[in-house]
A and B are shown apart, each in its own frame.
Chain A
Amino acid sequence: MRHTEKILHLTLVGSGGDGVMSTASMLLRTAARMGLYGMMTQSYGPQIRGGESAAHVTIGVEPVAITGVVKDLIVCFRFEYLSRFAQEITAAPHVALFHSAEETDIPVLLQTKEGMRVPIPFQQILEEAGLPEIAKNVVVFGMVLRALGWDLGDGNACVSEVFSHKSSAVISSNLRALEVGYQHLETLTLPFRGPRHGAAKQTTVISGNEACAEAAVDAGCRFYAGYPITPSSEILEKVYELFPAVGGRLVQAEDEIAAIGMIIGASWGGVKSMTATSGPGLSLMTEMLGLASMAEIPVVIVDCQRAGPATGLPSRMEQSDLWHAIYGGHGDFPRVVLAPTNIRDCYLTMFRAFHLAETYQLPVLVLSDANIAQRSEIIEKIDTRGFPRGERAIAALETPGDIDALREGIYRRFDLAAAVDDRWPGVNPVAIPGMPGGMHSIAGIEHTERGTPSADGANHERMNQKRFRKLMAIERETAEWCVTSGRAKAPIGLIAWGSCAGVVQEYALTRDDIALFVPHMLHPFPARALQTFLEGRRTVGVIEMNFQGQLYHHLRGIGVLDGTAHNLRRSGGLPFQLDEIGILLREGGLI
């Protein structure tokens, strides 16, 4: 792989106590301070805590779309841990390898001719400087900072910021640890140079989960209920951190059934509400997904997809909840499915989710995945001013004049005649509990215009028509919620979604015979836009990370793809690597 001064790929491999994640995150923050872009992904063993972990960091002068596999710099605390990450780590010919001085048998994987080995006596350095074991991550941060030729001042600023909520003694001890690390490698010159200056302005370091949380609160979410589950829990934690300032309320529910129940209840009360979960939680929520749609209550549900059914591979990514999101649940009911493709995109996606949920009064699912959820990126601050912010239409209510009017009820919650309005098809203005004159009941049982239970098939058909009319309007409104790239005349048209879109895009940039279509709406699908994109293409392929080809079959089912289209897929686990896209295309006979 090319090496330029514009991009740098580094990895830290260690176990729980080595603090590789915090070192990597300090590097990322420092890069942001220097006007650079970057991305950090983390990889764990099957157990979520303890065990070995790898932090991959890519830093660039330009925005970074993926963390590369071919590493310029590797910091490894124990060689035996490396084998777990063999698929994720390859040494560049010029690799610089920092490892503990006690270990002398360099794994074959890391033996290169031009590379450089830097044995580091971590224990000794700490002891001589009188630093505690927990300062190791900051010492290592200092070393990498020095090795990359970055300023100690930027490192100091980063450490002060990271430990700002700690005592001044802790801050000064960490500043010293940084200096100790920095000075230890004072005389070192690496066999390569990484990026040192960038021009990015107003950037921030944020994970996908944090971005979803921030955007949700920004979009007006004021009630959150959720049950912790990897890889979604940081959304709950971040929302909890943000809520006090805006007066929101959060409940940690006893399970996902209660979580979706609570948001349905709060949203019925007129408050924008959401939950976040992963596949197992979405399975538990499914009955009430139908309830929200049937009772026409806006809710936003983020599903940070992990791999596999049941417990599956909890910390790995996959795109296998698509069918569940689009089709899951008994009976016919409209819902919307959106998917962000990267962290920046989480903002717009969350705004759109609340906009659609509130405007059309139905459940909206946001399909994130373990990769977007857990990785951190340096991104430019997002200006959300132009983002859609639909509000729920509120009914104009009359106060009933007498007891008979009160008992009869004037308000029709599910008025069929009113719901043919062209702007809001299928939607009725709501009366929020507490509003005089709006008394009515709503139900998960099929109901009449007044919300009274009804077992009449003809009424059921009319109500289905009303509820599904919303999808037609949404399809019109969101017809362009997709991104295309590549030449109009490129013979190969690829379709990719979610976090996989980034790597496919990177690959497509290396060739001029590939154009790419990335839907941001998965349901209802921007079918017209896809058809336009596909015109004149010789070959079409859907790239996705699941075993059954869920997007491919969905697109065949709705009639936008025919049997000549290819499906390029594999089960989840690690994210697609750049060269893997080429292999998939070659194996599929597309190139």
Chain B
Amino acid sequence: MSDAVRKPIAYRNQCKQVWCTGCGDYGVLKSFTRAFAKLHLANEKIAIVSGIGCSSRLPGYTATYGFNTVHGRPLPIATGLKVARPELTVVACGGDGDGFAIGIGHIPHAIRRNPDLTYFVMDNSIYGLTKGQASPTTRRETKEAKGLVGVDETPINPVLFVLASGAGFVARTQAGDMAHMAEMLQEAIQYPGFAFIHCLSVCVTYQGRSFQDQLDRDVHPLPTDHNPTDAQAAFQIARTDPWALGIIYRRPLGEEFDAKSEPVAE
């Protein structure tokens, strides 16, 4: 079994998924398994570490090693694991609340340490699990329309935040486009350092149809002439275009810090 090239299904366990019908997280799960298959990763060499939220249920559904931790903390735990087991492919994941509210303090520090792992944030711009409160990425119009707390607070811009913190790989994708998600994930996993993926996702239950409509209308690929190694261009996109999908920034190797992965002696 171990040498056979595995199909995406081989990375999915038999646990019943409990997301709402139509939730963007189903697509994310499929894109994960597809990327793993494309990269011919052995199941046991993959570890997925999540926080808490609907999106953080993901590692419970993969036939890999998984850790559904506590709210906001996947990054420190994933970092510790990667130090202990550098040979593993480590993916940290969670929601926008998990990452950009309670867990945001860990992001710049994970970036500074630059462990070779991928951080995948499913940004549905709402707290799904706790039933529909505003998250730090909820747009003001949405909060106003839904009567959510924090109408006066401006949303955070995850891509800009992560770029400004010095991340070497930053991409945006959307849960509705499985092939694109899988492609971004493959690129991120292969990038030797901290890689961030911002995934625009839909919470059908608490964001409703309007958000999906907006995504359908507004998302678009990055301009064809975008050069992902151009930091200035990346910042420009991050600041001005919240709907552009693709690899926004990829620092050329050898520039600034490279990921470290000397093993720990036992």
Please give the residue numbers on chain A whose beta carbons come within 8 Å of chain B beta carbons, in ascending order. 222-223, 225, 246-249, 251, 253-255, 257-271, 273, 287-288, 291, 295, 399-403, 405-409, 432-445, 451-453
Contacts and interface: CB of A to CB of B under 8 A. Distances in A.
B159 to A, nearest CB: 21
B60 A441 contact: yes
Given A258-B76, A406-B63, 10 more contacts: A251-B83, A254-B109, A262-B83, A264-B69, A265-B77, A269-B81, A433-B88, A438-B44, A441-B60, A453-B57
B195 interface: no
A194 to B, nearest CB: 46
19 contacts: A222-B265, A225-B76, A249-B83, A253-B109, A258-B109, A259-B76, A264-B80, A265-B76, A265-B84, A267-B80, A273-B80, A295-B69, A403-B6, A408-B13, A434-B65, A434-B85, A440-B65, A441-B59, A452-B15
B75 to A, nearest CB: 8
Interface string B38-72: 00001111011100100001011011111111100
Nearest to A273: B80
Contacts of B220: none
B2 interface: yes
Contacts of A435: 44
A403 B265 contact: no
B231 to A, nearest CB: 24
Contact of A223 (B9, B49, B80): B80
Contacts of A222: 264-266
Contacts of A408: 13-14
Contact of A440 (B52, B66, B84): B66
B2 A436 contact: yes
Contact of A266 (B66, B83, B113): B83
A122 to B, nearest CB: 46
Contacts of B70: 287-288, 291, 444
Given A266-B84, A269-B81, A406-B10, A442 B66 contact: yes
A291 B88 CA distance: 22
Contacts of B31: none
A478 to B, nearest CB: 26
A311 B252 CA distance: 45
A265 B105 contact: no
A441 B59 CA distance: 7
Interface size class of B (residues with CB under 8 A): 35 or more
A407 B2 contact: no
A433 B68 contact: no
A288 to B, nearest CB: 6
Contacts of A259: 76
Ordered nearest first, which 7 A-B pairs have the shortest CB separation?
A: A265-B80, A247-B265, A269-B84, A261-B76, A441-B66, A262-B80, A265-B77
B79 interface: yes
Contacts of B15: 452
A439 B69 contact: no
Nearest to A290: B70
Contact of A453 (B65, B68, B78, B79): B68
Given A261-B80, A407-B14, A254 B68 contact: no
B139 interface: no
Given A251-B83, A403-B10, A407-B9, A265 B78 contact: yes
Most buried by B among A255, A399, A438, A452: A452
Contacts of B45: 434
A408 B59 CA distance: 15
B63 to A, nearest CB: 5
B265 A246 contact: yes
A434 B88 contact: yes
A433 B85 contact: yes
Contact of A268 (B44, B48, B81, B106): B81
A399 B4 CA distance: 13
A264 to B, nearest CB: 6
Nearest to A442: B67
A436 B42 contact: yes
Contacts of B81: 265-266, 268-269, 433
Contacts of B172: none
A358 to B, nearest CB: 12
Given A222-B264, A407-B63, A400 B83 contact: no
B73 interface: yes
A155 B120 CA distance: 61
Contacts of A251: 79-80, 83, 113
A283 B84 CA distance: 26
B1 A406 contact: yes
Among B60, B64, B65, max chain A CB count under 10 A is at B65
Contacts of B73: 257-258, 261, 288
Contacts of A257: 73, 76
B143 interface: no
Contact of B47 (A254, A409, A433, A451): A433
B68 A441 contact: yes
Given A265-B49, A433-B47, A254 B106 contact: yes
B12 interface: yes
A435 to B, nearest CB: 6
B230 interface: no
A255 B87 contact: no
Contacts of B85: 269-270, 432-434
Nearest to B47: A433
Contacts of B265: 222, 246-248
Contact of A407 (B10, B77, B109): B10
A463 to B, nearest CB: 15
Nearest to B69: A444
Given A258-B106, A262-B83, A400-B1, A291 B66 contact: no
A399 B77 contact: no
A445 B67 CA distance: 10
Nearest to A453: B60
B67 A443 contact: yes
Interface in B6-38: 6-7, 9-10, 12-15
B262 to A, nearest CB: 8
B9 A403 contact: yes
Nearest to B16: A452
A210 B59 CA distance: 40
Contacts of B88: 269, 433-434
Interface in B159-190: none
